[in-house]
């Protein structure tokens, strides 16, 4: 009986040990030696075909797992004390790549032919320095460094502006734009979060401090779990 119990216990332990083992993960270093234009990568995106896009401080890189195609673009160095947080890539829904280059300038690349156009204005409105961008179906959500949020309809060309003056946002410095599983848009600012259920009105604000208060909560990233 004891021998049988020991054999059973050994079998359970071996099974548990086997279940705990994972396939090894191999890492590969890709640097300027492999063709990357510069060693400081500030953002990464992957398009629908599978190309990897790397924004570096000296060029935009497209990588197909074998070789690089480099486009001359400059992105801000946010590792320095005087640098900003600009330098972003976002894959759109119309075979395009939205790019925030040095100084918060918004640009758009056609992924079919890799042509790039600058986007200094939308619907006759000059865009201030852009901090982040989120393409969502027929709309482009544009966060700025100090002028709130713009929502641009890619079909009708309508442009909607939200700010603390319109009481739509908790703050005007937009850090990130996030879409949750219910389709709500979370706007992260230097003074809490604002949640949009639709394009025109924000429904909730979180972690917001009253005007003049020194106890502000700067939000820079958000994620959603299974619940």
Render pLDDT for 100-156 as a digit per residue (tens, 0 to 9).
Answer: 988 899 999 999 999 999 999 999 999 999 999 999 989 999 999 999 999 999 999
CA 77 to CA 84: how far, in whole Å? 7
Asked whether residue 217 carries a pLDDT value surpassing 80, the answer given is: no
Cα separation, 220 vs 177, in Å, equals: 9
Q: What is the mean pLDDT of residues 31-50?
A: 90
Residue 202 lies in a domain: yes
pLDDT of residue 30: 86
Number of domains in the chain: 2
Instruction: State the Cα–Cα distance between residues 16 and 9, nearest whole angstrom.
Output: 11
Span 58-83, pLDDT tens digits: 889 999 989 999 998 877 765 555 44
Query: Looking at residue 5, what is its pLDDT?
Result: 47
Shared domain for 223 and 129, answered yes or no, is: yes
For 141-197, how does the pLDDT look when each residue is reduced to its tens digit (9 = 90+)? 999 999 999 999 999 999 999 998 887 888 899 999 999 998 999 999 988 888 988
pLDDT at 52 over 80: yes
* CATH code for position 114: 2.40.10
Tell me if 55 is assigned to some domain: yes
Q: How many CB atoms lie within 10 A of CB 149?
A: 25
Domain hosting residue 188, numbered range: 125-227
Q: What is the pLDDT of residue 209?
A: 66
Question: What pLDDT score was predicted for residue 200?
Answer: 67
Residue that has been written with the tokens 């734009």 in this structure: 177
In a domain, 56, yes or no: yes
Residue 23, C-beta contacts closer than 8 angstroms, at least 6 positions apart: none
Please name which of 68, 72, 63 lies closest in space to residue 101, comparing C-alpha atoms.
72
The residue ranges of DSSP E strands in 8-84, in sequence order, are 41-46, 52-56, 59-63, 68-71
Name the pTM for this structure: 0.81
């Amino acid at each position: 009986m004891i021998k049988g119990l020991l054999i059973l216990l050994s079998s359970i332990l071996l099974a548990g040990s086997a279940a705990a083992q994972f396939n090894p993960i191999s890492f590969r270093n890709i640097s300027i030696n492999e063709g990357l234009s510069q060693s400081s990568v500030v953002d990464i995106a992957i398009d629908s075909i599978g190309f990897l896009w790397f924004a570096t401080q000296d060029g935009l890189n497209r990588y197909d797992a074998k070789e690089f195609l480099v486009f001359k673009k400059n992105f801000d160095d946010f590792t320095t004390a005087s640098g900003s947080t600009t330098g972003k890539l976002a894959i759109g829904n119309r075979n395009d790549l939205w790019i925030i280059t040095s100084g918060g300038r918004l640009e758009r690349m056609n992924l079919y032919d890799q042509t790039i156009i600058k986007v200094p204005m939308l619907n006759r409105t000059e865009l201030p320095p852009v901090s982040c961008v989120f393409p969502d179906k027929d709309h482009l959500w544009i966060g700025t460094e100090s002028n709130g949020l713009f929502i641009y309809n890619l079909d009708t060309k309508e442009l909607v502006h939200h700010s603390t003056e319109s009481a739509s946002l908790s703050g005007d410095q937009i850090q990130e734009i996030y879409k949750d599983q219910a389709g709500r848009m979370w706007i992260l600012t230097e003074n809490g979060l604002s949640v949009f259920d639709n394009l025109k009105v924000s429904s909730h604000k979180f972690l917001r401090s009253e005007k003049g208060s020194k106890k502000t909560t700067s939000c820079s990233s958000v994620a959603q779990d299974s619940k």
